[in-house]
């Protein structure tokens, strides 16, 4: 029987499937495993390369298998899909993962530590609460519109809604059941505001304590939230060969539709880390908005872009530029230095 060199592992909640391949890629075994038997199975296997899709729970199992002496690689699911043969089931998926892991040009995802995942949860939780707050504000404005009241727009005006419900004119025009339900939503808004404020303080504390985050904040358009998100969610800067690779990982690089030696670039790919990409675009939009009001530095890249491109396009392009600068600062361990415009 051939020696197992690579194992492709298809993971789920309770049912797993392992596909073992030899040195020449031949199938050695294909076995279904339960959750309780998974670690016992790999403990009895000789040290080898174990590949999994980078999905929910993958980082946990990767850490467990590394402790057993195996080399673990996580593959983005989109890179595994081309190796799936016709029908899709656990055995076919495990074989496709094993096949993809053996390709010399395959790209892999860095395994996250428990601390990195915990830090990432701060941003995921904050995003969830912000979305819930937006839903509540929209619901309040929509319900009030049904009774002829146009509520003010914006998060900053949401606190006024509770005061409006106490006014005699509104109280007399709204049925009691409607006022009770609106009260429930305004109370929930207060709770969400309190929790979001607490998370903002936690993010600010992490920024003050982390040297890399403080360095990233020297870049115009990157504040405490974006800086700490990059530190918590992005892999090590050394895993990227250049700044463009980091920008492409964030989904900020343009899609290519080039052929016959003719280069054709389209919109950004949006195939990377959504949270950091969104924060960088928001930061870029803030810089562009300020430059549109106060004026960009004379002779700067931003001034030239604003003169010939739409503002939203410039914001995304600036986010791409910010991502490359962030990679350079993390790699060289330096603070940001504003470029000096060359006199014409």
Q: For residue 37, give the CATH number of its domain.
A: 3.30.420.40
Q: Do the domain assignments include residue 160?
A: yes
Q: How many residues are given for the chain?
A: 344
Which pLDDT score is estimated for 280?
Answer: 95
The structure tokens listed for 91 are 């055995």
Which pLDDT band, with edges at 50, 70 and 90, does 201 fall under? very high
Cβ atoms of 184 and 191 closer than 8 Å: no
- Asked whether residue 340 is domain-assigned, the answer is no
One domain for residues 230 and 194: no
* pLDDT computed for residue 247 by the predictor: 92
Average pLDDT, the chain: 88
Is residue 306 one of the residues assigned to a domain? Answer: yes
The total number of structural domains in the chain stands at 3
Q: Which of 46, 57, 58 lies closest to 22, judged by CA?
A: 46
Residues 6 or more apart whose Cβ sits within 8 Å of residue 191: none
Same domain, 311 and 227: yes
Round to whole Å and give the CA distance between 72 and 84: 21
Q: Are residues 153 and 192 in the same domain?
A: yes
Asked if residue 106 is part of any domain, the answer here is: no
> Residue 337: inside a domain, yes or no?
no
Question: Where are the alpha helices (H) located in 103-259, listed in sequence order?
Answer: 114-146, 159-166, 168-173, 176-209, 211-216, 224-233, 243-249
Do 307 and 318 sit in the same domain of this protein?
yes
My answer on whether 202 and 243 are in the same domain is no
Percentage, residues of the chain above pLDDT 90: 53
Whether residue 129 is found in the same domain as residue 239? no
Look at residue 290 and tell me if it is in a domain.
Answer: yes
Q: Is the pLDDT of residue 2 over 80?
A: no
Contacts 24+ apart (CB under 8 A), 302-308: none
Residue 168, domain member (yes or no): yes
Say if residue 236 is in the same domain as residue 321: yes
The count of C-alpha atoms lying within 13 angstroms of the C-alpha of 58, restricted to the half-sphere facing its C-beta, is: 21
Looking at residue 177, its pLDDT comes to: 85
Is residue 14 domain-shared with residue 83, that is, in the same domain?
yes
Does residue 168 register a pLDDT over 80? Answer: no
Q: What is the pLDDT of residue 169?
A: 63
- Residue 82's domain comprises 6-101
Same domain, 192 and 249: no
Task: Assign 196 a pLDDT band (cuts: 50, 70, 90).
Answer: very high
Asked whether residue 163 is assigned to any structural domain, the reply reads: yes
Please tell me whether residue 269 adopts helix, strand or coil conformation: coil
The answer to whether residues 178 and 190 belong to one domain is yes
Residues 129 and 19 in one domain: no
Q: Are residues 121 and 92 in the same domain?
A: no
Confidence of residue 323 (pLDDT cuts 50, 70, 90): very high
């Amino acid at each position: 029987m051939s020696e197992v060199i690579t194992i492709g592992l298809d993971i789920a909640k309770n049912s797993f499937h392992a596909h073992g391949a030899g040195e020449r890629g031949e199938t050695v075994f294909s076995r279904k495993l339960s959750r309780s038997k998974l670690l016992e199975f790999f403990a009895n296997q000789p040290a080898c390369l174990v590949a999994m899709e980078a999905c929910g729970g993958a980082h946990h199992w990767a850490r467990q298998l590394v402790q057993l002496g195996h080399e673990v690689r996580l593959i983005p699911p989109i890179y595994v899909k081309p190796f799936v043969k016709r029908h899709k089931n656990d055995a076919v998926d495990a074989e496709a993962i094993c096949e993809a892991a053996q390709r010399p040009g395959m790209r892999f995802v860095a395994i996250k530590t428990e601390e990195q995942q915990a830090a990432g949860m701060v941003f995921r939780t904050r995003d969830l609460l912000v979305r819930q707050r937006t839903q509540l504000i929209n619901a309040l404005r929509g319900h009030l519109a049904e009774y002829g009241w146009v509520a003010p727009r914006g998060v900053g005006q949401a606190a006024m809604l509770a005061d409006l419900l106490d006014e005699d004119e509104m109280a007399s025009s709204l049925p009691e059941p409607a006022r009770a339900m609106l009260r429930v939503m305004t109370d929930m808004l207060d709770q969400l505001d309190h929790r979001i404020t607490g998370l903002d303080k936690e993010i600010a504390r992490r920024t003050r304590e982390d040297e890399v985050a403080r360095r990233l904040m020297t870049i115009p358009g990157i504040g405490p939230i974006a800086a700490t998100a990059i530190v918590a969610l992005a892999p090590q800067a050394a895993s990227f060969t250049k700044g463009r690779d980091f920008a492409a990982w964030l989904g900020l690089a343009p899609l290519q539709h080039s052929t016959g030696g003719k280069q054709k670039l389209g919109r950004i790919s949006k195939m990377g880390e959504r949270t950091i990409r969104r924060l960088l675009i928001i930061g870029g939009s803030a810089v562009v908005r300020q430059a549109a009001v106060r004026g960009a530095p004379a002779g700067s890249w931003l001034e030239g872009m604003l003169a010939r491109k739409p503002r939203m396009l410039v914001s995304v392009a600036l986010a791409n530029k910010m991502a490359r600068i962030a990679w350079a600062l993390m790699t060289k361990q330096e603070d940001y230095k504003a470029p000096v415009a060359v006199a014409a």
